[in-house]
Amino acid sequence: MTLRVLIVDDEALARSRLRTLLGECTAPAAIVAGEAANAADALALLRRERFDLALLDIHMPGADGLTLAQTLRTLPGAPAVVFVTAHAGHALQAFDVEAVDYLTKPVRLERLQAALQKVERLVAAGRAPVTGAAEEVLIIQDRGRTERLPLSEVLYFKAELKYVTVRTAAKSYILDGALSELEERHADRFMRIHRNALVARSAVRALEKHHDLEEGEGWAVRLNGLDELLTVSRRQLAAVREAIAAV
């Protein structure tokens, strides 16, 4: 798949940099099908042509990128939105308008490629990414980067000292929060298997006997997409058995 991209940025050098990076992207590939220096010019292009993705700066003369993204949500066949900005402080507002990703300048090739892959999945699924009901997500902030992680991709939460490890099939993230709050908020999706762990109900593949160095012989769950076993406490064993049988 080749994505048709619209670049919206008032700085010519920034647009040139994105053109170069997009030319280096593969799987998916991307072509710059249009450029605009402000929101008004971008809307004019969007009414004439089809784009899969709009890369939006936030601070521009006239209407800013957040306002433009809000307007795009009202257009039929609107493209996905990824913000590309020097300012990290607008991430939460960006995800309020259902942006697919939020990249901070200077953009690294691997981060841009990852954003394109998210857009490719949306396009392939035939979903309008900036309209309709938003999927439930977690906002992950890591080393100056803010990412919108779909809750459906999370396999487990595990408490580690002051933080919570968030595990997907592909990657681990760190979340600043409490396991009890996550359990209360997402009890329909996740079940507690131990004082320090919640697992996605839909991801549980098996309950197995195992030997734990701290607790001795006991039980653990195996999750789809992971080789790792997660210990089930004696206190939670009956509830876990019941939950697995009910799936």
- Per-residue pLDDT tens for 137-196? 788 877 667 777 888 899 999 998 889 999 998 889 998 888 998 998 888 889 999 999
Provide φ and ψ at 217, rounded to 5°. -65, 135
Look at residue 94 in the predicted model and tell me its pLDDT.
Answer: 72
- Higher pLDDT pick, 101 / 96: 101
In a domain, 145, yes or no: no
My answer on whether 169 and 120 are in the same domain is no
Task: Mark which of 85, 101, 134 sits at the end of a domain.
Answer: 134
Which domain range does residue 156 map to? 150-246
| pLDDT exceeds cutoff 90 at 247 | no
In a domain, 142, yes or no: no
Q: Which of 48-52, 81-85, 131-135 is predicted with the least confidence, judged by mean pLDDT?
A: 131-135
- Where residue 29 sits, what CATH number does that domain have? 3.40.50.2300
The mean predicted confidence, pLDDT, of the chain is 86
> In this structure, is the dihedral angle defined by the CA atoms of residues 53, 59, 62 and 64, taken in order, positive or negative?
positive
| pTM for this prediction | 0.54
Integer angstrom CA distances of residue 3 from 51, 68, 79, 149:
8, 20, 10, 22
In a domain, 81, yes or no: yes
Task: Mark which of 134, 166, 198 sits at the end of a domain.
Answer: 134
Closest to 231 in 3D by CA, of 132, 172, 166, 158: 158
My answer on whether 104 and 12 are in the same domain is yes
| 69-107: b (≥16 Cβ within 10 Å) or e | bbbbeeeeebbbbbbbbeeeebbeebbebbbbbbbbbeb
My answer on whether 77 and 39 are in the same domain is yes
Closest to 219 in 3D by CA, of 199, 233, 198: 233
Q: Are 146 and 102 in contact (CB under 8 A)?
A: yes
My answer on whether 175 and 229 are in the same domain is yes
Q: In the chain, how many domains are there?
A: 2
My answer on whether 88 and 180 are in the same domain is no
Q: Which of 8-12, 58-62, 127-131, 193-197 is predicted with the least confidence, judged by mean pLDDT?
A: 127-131
pLDDT tens by residue, 79-100 = 999 999 887 777 667 777 788 8
What average pLDDT score do residues 211-236 get? 83
Task: Mark which of 107, 134, 161 sits at the end of a domain.
Answer: 134
